[in-house]
Amino acid sequence: MYKLLNASFSRLRKNKIFIGLVILTVIIAIFMLVSKYLDKIKYSAFGISSNTTDILFTNFINIIGFFSAIFTSLFVGTEYSDGTIRNKIIVGHSRKNIYLSNLIVSIVVGLILEFIYLIIIAIVAIPVFGKTQMDFSQFVFILLDMVMIVVSYSSIFNFIALTCSNITISTVSSLLLILIMFVVSSLLSPTANSTEYIQKIAGIDEQGNTKYEIVRNEEYPGKLKQTLCRTIVNLLPTGQAVQISGNKVEISEDYLKNIKVFSLYSLGVVIVISFIGIYLFNIKELK
């Protein structure tokens, strides 16, 4: 395993895809900072405050999946096209170790990109926009969740790349899959986050204040359907990413409850997909 990792990381230092993604990550971080700073200037006259640092801190998690899909598909796909994987097996490396070493490299690259972004945001955003409004426990949970989302993405795309030897098909499949996951997350999120009772305007009192009442939500799908949709959304890394990046100043109890279990969902996805991936890669006939 050590020799496999050493060879992969040596190759990584000269990999143009990796270098390109690092540069693109820096550009995205700068673009987001400039965009939020212009918004700050634009709305400062209205006295509008927001959790800008929190938003910047979590925004990149929606993009990292696409970077992971591109890197993993091309990095592993090149090993197939160059015959590197076949050579590794010939010299005695086990298929399980080859699978896991590629998974580790994919995870490390994803985390490097994520932390490059976070470091830039921390250096610039905190002095300009102020400290994060999350308390320490929320920060730790969200950071852990983002790490596990990267690991989950890597396990999914490593599975595709190593079970599909065609570099074009694996790349297109990975990018198409992440788009489908985003669509599914978006479609199921309203049902997953629906509540049985909602607050409704009941009128205006004598002092001119708006009165509210709690009424049953007619569109509530039922506990079973809601639980099923929420489980699917939480299992998808895209579903977790959207929820994390959508955090607001007023963080609900439901949100806090979710972020504490996101990592467990991701861990389950990683374990299941990796076991299936190793099995399929072991029986795969290499051409």
pLDDT at 200 over 70: no
Q: Is the pLDDT of residue 175 over 60?
A: yes
Residue 205 DSSP symbol: -
Query: Averaged over 117-133, what is the pLDDT?
Result: 86
**How large is the C-alpha radius of gyration of the chain?**
22
**pLDDT at residue number 204:** 62
As given in the structure block, the two tokens for residue 285 are 């006939």
Residue 252 contacts residue 218 (beta carbons within 8 Å):
no
Do 221 and 277 contact (CB within 8 A), yes or no? no
- Looking at residues 234-247, what average pLDDT do you find? 84
pTM of the model: 0.86
The average pLDDT across 97-121 equals: 93
39-54 residue pLDDT tens: 777 766 554 455 678 8
What residues pair up with 213 in beta bridges, in sequence order?
A: 200
State the Cα–Cα distance between residues 188 and 166, nearest whole angstrom.
32
DSSP secondary structure code for residue 260 in this structure: T
144 pLDDT more than 50: yes
* Burial classification of residue 243, based on how many CB atoms lie within 10 Å of its CB (0-12 exposed, 13-18 middle, 19 or more buried): buried
* Separation of alpha carbons 174 and 157, rounded Å: 6
The residue among 111 and 256 whose pLDDT is bigger is: 111
